[in-house]
Amino acid sequence: MHTPIRLLAAIVATASLSAACASGSASPATQTTPEAPAMAATSVDAQAPADPVRDLLASSDRLFEDGRHQLSLGHLAQAKSAFNASLELILASPEVTRSDARVREHLDRLVDRIAALELTALATGDGFTEQAAEPASIDQLLAISTFDTSPPTAATTENVEADLRETTHDLPIPLNERVLRYVELFQGRLREFLAEGLARGAQYLPMIQSVFRAEGLPLDLAYVPLIESAFKPTALSRAKARGVWQFMRGTGIENGLQQDWYIDERSDPAKATVAAARYFKTLYRMFDDWHLAMASYNGGPGRMQRAIKASRRTDFWSLTATSRYLPRETREYVPMILAAVIIAKNPAKYGFDVPPPGAPAIETVEVPSAVDLRRVAEWASVPVEEIQRLNPELRRWTTPIRGDSYPLTVPWGTAETIRAELGAASPKTLNALQWHVVKRGETLTTIARKLRVNRTDLAEANYLRATSRVTIGQKLLIPRMPSAALLARAAAGAPVQAEETDAVAAAFESTVTETVVHRVRRGDTLFALARKYQTTVAQLKALNRLSSNTLRIGARLVVATPRTANAQQQ
């Protein structure tokens, strides 16, 4: 077999996918079996005559699409297998077929598309893309124009009055118009919002009520997240409050919630609930009134104390009868929550059908530090988004680099498989991390500038402050973010066009730590050089403006790789 064919057949086994899914697993990745091309038609259609080339290309495209789908799930090894199969199907076809212009064009385009996806894997292989947040419902509710709510109907008033007589509440709930207006609103314009929140909250309420019961708190407070976040662990407000309980950063830290570059326990429903119980107890000790405590949970205890001092009023309803002392959001917060509590305690009475929660189908497995969640997702045969959803406190695609292990929540029935894969995997295959060893005269600022990373990210990724000093020989983890343009191209499945070569090369150059020059020797191939320098064929071609895979003996190639300097320093 000629060298170019060997090169094309192996192109997708280069640095980016290999670094993220090297052969350290207990069992090999699921292999995709190439579909045999339909070289002879079983029946003849007068309108669509047999075309073995067309069938061959269609089969190759199906394998490519399977690879792209696996990549979208975070299943890197299975993606590589499918990409290889899509190429091998073409390369294994008869030479007369490969000589067809359509096949040559398809092969060139296929290599370009796989190269673009390969670059994407390299760009995102560090595992540092931050998990996306969702808008917090409290912003939408407190900013909505429905503060001018309609007066409650007689039917609503009678229904709530009867409900309050029959249902036990451990928060005082007055039967006043301000509360009734929100009951009316939640049954009308905001019905869908409340229904979704009630359904989502069903999985968390048993845990929250258990914590509050143990702390001696009113169980009705368990419904506060219905308004704060609609029970979304990744909810983020405009004021940067986060999680089911919408803790601000400082308040979260004061109540024991860890927050750093890798983890934010405000998004951990269980840990944030313990912190919320602690905070509510503190607020009640300050005000000795649950309505005032709830209002201060929204507006802050300092503001509430100033309002009480200025008004000389210690009753929430009297204090908020005027707009002089508290902002509208805080004045509306308490009646809104009380209305939500009324409905949540007896949803059927108000026309809501809330299905009972099933037992959570999850288990926990201890994983080492710095494990790429995409590896775990592939072992568990689920999308990486599912692992992220089960571990919303993890801000990145990796477990923290500090510590011996991390308790990771995984789908039920997958822990044993994950433990087996972890036991068989080489530590170097669990994440594609990049490191920099500090040299004489370097600071965080100069390193960040040289490596084109944000100084604050560089510091926080290494548990340092932006003003911290570094010492010679200190090893720093280099946080890198993917190229948005490159991700968009790869997601669309479009080939990298000639005019995009410079942009692709620039995207790669922004991740390098060192550039070297290689003089081509007899027997060198692009694939062999890519493997030697831990880069990609596409990058070698882009950086050296090569239009083909042919190398000239004695030629000088520029080689840029994120691991060159690291490998030389080891």
Show which residues are catalytic.
228
* 244: amino acid identity, one letter: V
CA distances from 346 to 45, 154, 337, 343 (A): 65, 19, 15, 5
* 205: amino acid identity, one letter: L
Q: For residue 137, which of 184, 200, 179 has the smallest C-alpha distance?
A: 200
* 3: amino acid identity, one letter: T
Q: For residue 252, which of 233, 275, 229, 268 has the smallest C-alpha distance?
A: 275
Distance CA 30, CA 79 (A): 9
**302: which 2 tokens?**
């300092």
Contact 121, 71 (CB under 8 A): yes
Encode burial over 124-137: b for 16+ CB neighbours within 10 A, e otherwise: bbbbbbebebeebb
Distance CA 397, CA 375 (A): 10
> By CB neighbour count within 10 A (0-12 exposed, 13-18 middle, 19+ buried), where does 199 fall?
middle
Q: How many CB atoms lie within 10 A of CB 40?
A: 8
Determine which helix (DSSP H) or strand (DSSP E) holds 558, and give its type and residue range.
strand 556-561
Distance CA 16, CA 530 (A): 11
260: helix, strand or coil: coil
Phi, psi of 44, rounded to the nearest 5 degrees? -110, 125
**42: which 2 tokens?**
């079983």
